[in-house]
Chain A
């Protein structure tokens, strides 16, 4: 069902209906139906190749879907609906949509030629054109929030993996997004550094941010997640409350995957 225009019904933050995505002849997403409510933390788990990261990247139009519909905060992603025809959005409009959606990548993707502070202020200054003083103050406050106030002047190459990922989270938050996407945020980290990043994510979840997290960290999913989604072969196999799915999976494939991971 498409989101209503009625004022008293708040649309879900993310809504996916029959989303398909293929790369050449490879069908990666074969009909995803999902809803993420406001303030909800959804954790997506599944074997590699299941399409979890691809689906995440469709949400902010880093990948263009081939069929189905995807809405973020009631707005269609990547297209405009006029009558019964879909019009592709122009690059400027897509960029505008992305402002409201923050993304954290597996390999951090910090800008190496800028300091931590520089990474944070770049987009707010140049994309949103916010006043410099305000942007710098907020950036420092964000770095403080993730525990890296002292590293504001450091370059990414001078930071450990955990610190870099925390800066990456702060960088995404600097744009004041309404939704945060995490693509296996701790998969590239040494085990002892995973905890500090998960702490920041937990803190973010508790402050009410809507989050979609692709992860292998079952502990995080159980403690912080509101909904756990198991994807395999490009479809959602099972979804439910994390404790329920993890303790008693309904599908054989889910159980098989969990037995390998837990």
Chain B
């Protein structure tokens, strides 16, 4: 059998003459670019040269220690609330999909309550928990107790804020995870079951890892959203986060605008870092989904500056280019070693 025809140009043959036609012109595109440029210039001018923004104050307080420390608190709240929220959300999603009617109903009720009430209200509630339950005791329900704690000592305002945010987030995460689980084709569960795997193992090793691809983009969304939702912890009341602190300073200075901008810049900076993190996390879980993943912006930059690495025949900016017989894998790197 002859080898399949090569798609590369044979050496020595003259290439066919390239068509040189006059391209379609788009005059109105240039007009719209000009209009946009003028609007942007007006906007920038209205912001930068406007004394009401008090850019001098912005510059003065942008790296103020109080704001920096408050930003750290905001990040702490975000991370803790998300970690707990995602963990509980996964559990709730699995419960929702369980064949056990008690588990799935319990999960449904949780979702109903925690999505049905405003997060601000929930935070107020958790802030008042030590009023509702002055002591927490561990023991037999309706029976003797073994240990007891004063609620205010255990559940500080910070802890209450984290609990409030996490429990609320778990309800939303549960639906995201459930969608991810449903997105994994049934054939995967069948194949795993046919190999003798039991349901927990099928879920942990086969379904959930594949569900992650669908779960991560909306979860990244939730994380970025949580960063701003933390500003609601003023309900607890917790006032050491970025929003409350910047408001404090702005009230002391009698200047509402510049500290708002400072806080906005901090939130934007942290969000940008989170977006980069999400990009790389998505790539990790996309391994195996395409023949070759497109290059990251960093890899593209390296290529442009240093030239393409040897042995790499992948086109830039898109998917893989398969040259040669279809039965071969892509030339260049082979993926990893043993599967884990």
- Which chain B positions have C-beta within 8 A of A109? 185, 187-188, 190-191
In the assembled complex, the Cα of A114 lies from the Cα of B201 at a distance in Å of 15
Q: Please, how many angstroms separate the alpha-carbon atoms of A162 and B290 in the complex? A: 18
Q: Known interface pairs A109-B191, A112-B288. Does A123 touch B196 (Cβ–Cβ under 8 Å)?
A: yes
Contact in complex: B287, A98 (CB < 8 Å)? no
Decide if B56 is an interface residue (CB 8 Å cutoff): no
* A-B contacts besides A91-B199, A157-B291, 8 pairs, CB < 8 Å: A95-B197, A99-B195, A111-B192, A114-B339, A127-B198, A154-B329, A154-B335, A157-B288
Contacts between chains A and B (CB distance < 8 A), count: 111
CA distance A102 to B195 in the complex (A): 7
Pick from B191, B193, B327 the residue with the most CB of A within 10 Å.
Answer: B191
- B340 contacts A118, CB within 8 Å? yes
Q: Which of B198, B210, B334 contacts A112 (CB 8 A)?
A: B210
> A62–B337 contact, CB under 8 A?
no
Q: How far is the CA of A98 from the CA of B198 in the complex (A)?
A: 10
Q: Are A123 and B197 in contact (CB under 8 A)?
A: yes
Interface positions of A from 105 to 128, Cβ below 8 Å from B:
105, 107, 109-119, 121-123, 126-128
Could you tell me if B198 and A155 are in contact, using CB atoms closer than 8 angstroms?
no
Binding site for B on A (CB under 8 A): 60, 62, 91-92, 95-96, 98-99, 101-103, 105, 107, 109-119, 121-123, 126-128, 136, 151, 153-160, 162-163, 168, 171-172, 175
Min CB distance B233 to A, Å, is 37
B291 near A118 (CB under 8 angstroms)? Answer: no
Residue B209 lies at the interface, judged by CB distance under 8 Å to chain A: yes
Do the beta carbons of B190 and A153 come within 8 Å of each other?
no
CB-nearest residue of chain B to A162: B327
Residues from 176 to 195 in B contacting A, C-beta threshold 8 Å: 185, 187-188, 190-195
Give complex CA distance A155, B330 in Å. 11
Q: Which of B191, B192, B194, B209 has the most CB of A within 10 A?
A: B194
CA distance A15 to B185 in the complex (A): 31
The smallest C-beta distance from A75 to any residue of chain B, in angstroms, reads 14
